[in-house]
Structure 1
Amino acid sequence: MAIKLRKKTELFTFYDSKGEKIERETEVRFDPLTGETSRLVYDAGLAITPIDYSEAAEKTKGANCPFCPENIFSMTPVFPKEIAEEGRITKGEAIVFPNLFPYSKHNGVTVFSGDHFIRLNEFTPELIKNAFQAAQMYIHRAAITDSHAKFASINWNYLPLSGGSIMHPHLHIIISDTGTNYQTNTYEKARQFEMETGTKYFTSLSETERLIGERWIADNGTITWLHAFAPKSHNDYIGIFNKAYSVEDIREADWDHFSKGLQTIFSILTDQSFSSFNLILSIDPEQREPVHVRLIPRLTIGALETSDINFFQALHQEPLTYKAPEEIAAKSRIRFEELL
């Protein structure tokens, strides 16, 4: 088996104030591609209270939101004509326009629809599909005009806990000459993996996890859904577009399957009381690895509404999770079977 799934357990022994012995396990897992570690830590009962954004949505919509219908065409910028003749790109209700404060030389924003606040269980496959197809169109057009911008991704910060500064649902499309640390590390390691094994990493991962069955969730059309072995958060969903190696390879049927799969994951997050997430859809600049997606929830912890990112994630660059990937995958398989 080319994929190596390594983990080790560390045991911490101490005593309570009455002298009773306590033992706590920390499981260290090694990412099968990068070798980076994640830690599965003791769960005293992670209680998550979903945040009700209804009041915030009322305060920030309409005249206070540049993405709402009454403002979007007057308050958002437009692309040069070689990108979009009409200034913006549209697909269904979705609208793509330039980010006023770009993260890269090409940075589009896709607004899903005119609805200012959409709860997780209200996203329809059509809304998701239109937004991602509009993003796909922007990547395609930018690539035609700029052959140096090879690193492309579609990104989603959903609600404030994820870092989203505007509540109105939207995507960020990043196209750059330079890959992010995640992209650079992932694709460099994938090249090394292919040289050593003769197989594509994400294809091998998909086949291996399907064979093992512990973290494999579902095959939906040409897309495989699974849970990461060494997760970056309390859930870490990976979606692999098995037949798509470039943005042009993603067909309408793929977006149909992806949108329904994402809708199903939203229902699983809702079951766990998660209300916010980060998502990346990453495209290999050399088109050697299939397109893949990762999604992790974002949350606050406890009565103080403590951030889910502390020194471990922020400075040690090491993710922590209270939830065993195999347990989340098992629950997810059931939900995919019910809804797909």
Structure 2
Amino acid sequence: MSLLGSLSPASIPAEDEALRTEVRDFLAQELAALPAHVRARSWNGVDAGFSRRLGQRGWLGLGLPAAYGGAARSAFTRYVLVEELLNAGAPVALHWVADRQSGPLLLKYGTETQKQRYLPRICRGQAFFCIGMSEPQAGSDLAAVRTRADRTPTGWVLNGQKIWTTNAHHCDYMIALVRTSGTVQDRHKGLSQVIVDLRRPGITVRPITDLSGSSHFCEVFFDNVALDPDALVGDEGQGWEQVTAELAFERSGPERLYSSIVLFDEWLRFVRTPAGHTPAAIRLAGRLVTQLAPLRAMSIAVTAKLVRGDSPAVEAALVKDLGTGFEQDVPRWIADDLFSRQTPVPVELLRTLDTVALVAPSFSLRGGTRDILRGMIARGLGLR
């Protein structure tokens, strides 16, 4: 109960809500030609031009200081923007990680040189980052990573492998969790993060094709990759502290609620027609909304803690675990409804269902597997 009690109800301030209408109008024009089954791939939608148009409007790096090209707004402002982007099914894949994690990470831990070099470009949509955490031998057990960065007279040399690195083949940089000292047996000790320019010699990126035919996951190999002396983020050995704070951003936002929302909206559009309106569908709509509403309230409460300067890692894990469960329920329950009908169903709705159903298994993997998250929650509740 202590964990649940730490999430006090919160509201998005009016000055942040004021952005919502402008974003909706912008997206209505930008996405007018995209069908629902394309918009349903919002997380994996790659469109550099769209990302740069967000940057031109000042909608990337919203929480970063103006001195680095940001808008100096609160996490609530970004919450509103992200909620609208995902609800509309905008192609967010390229700028997603840099805006959500890499920028705030570099602002907190980076050197002044790193901030000046990367943050303005992130805000303009001109520098795209991916995350190098998971490895084949480690999975979600990040303390077991083996990839190493060793000091040299001219900087660092990097060797090892990362996997499940989303959109590495489209990105400019990776922030990688590596060992800079010790061995795997040292667990959290000796872990650091480094900035890797993915154009450096010795780097091989291999996309992995998933069930849906997408190739957004990648494995990345490092073979004696030379890194500059200032590639290190923060202090050596600070990597575990950094990724813990970073994952709170990744796990807590509206992106953990809305991966299936384009499908939900397309289904609702059908349910509101005479052909789609059935008592069973109305009950299902109520069931889904009554789950989504408290999850959104929890996500906003975690955002409020971030605004206060807290690091709600366990609370974020709770939102992520429950939220991805909901996201996976949406396509399953909608499929049950549609395939129990005796009347025709719109083809575009079926295509959207197919798209979401094929990618839904990944929802409970990205950002930490269910088992890892539930272990964190159990410790937060004092159960282990």
TM exceeding 0.5 = no
TM-score by structure 2 length? 0.26
Q: Which has the higher strand share?
A: 1
TM-score by structure 1 length? 0.28
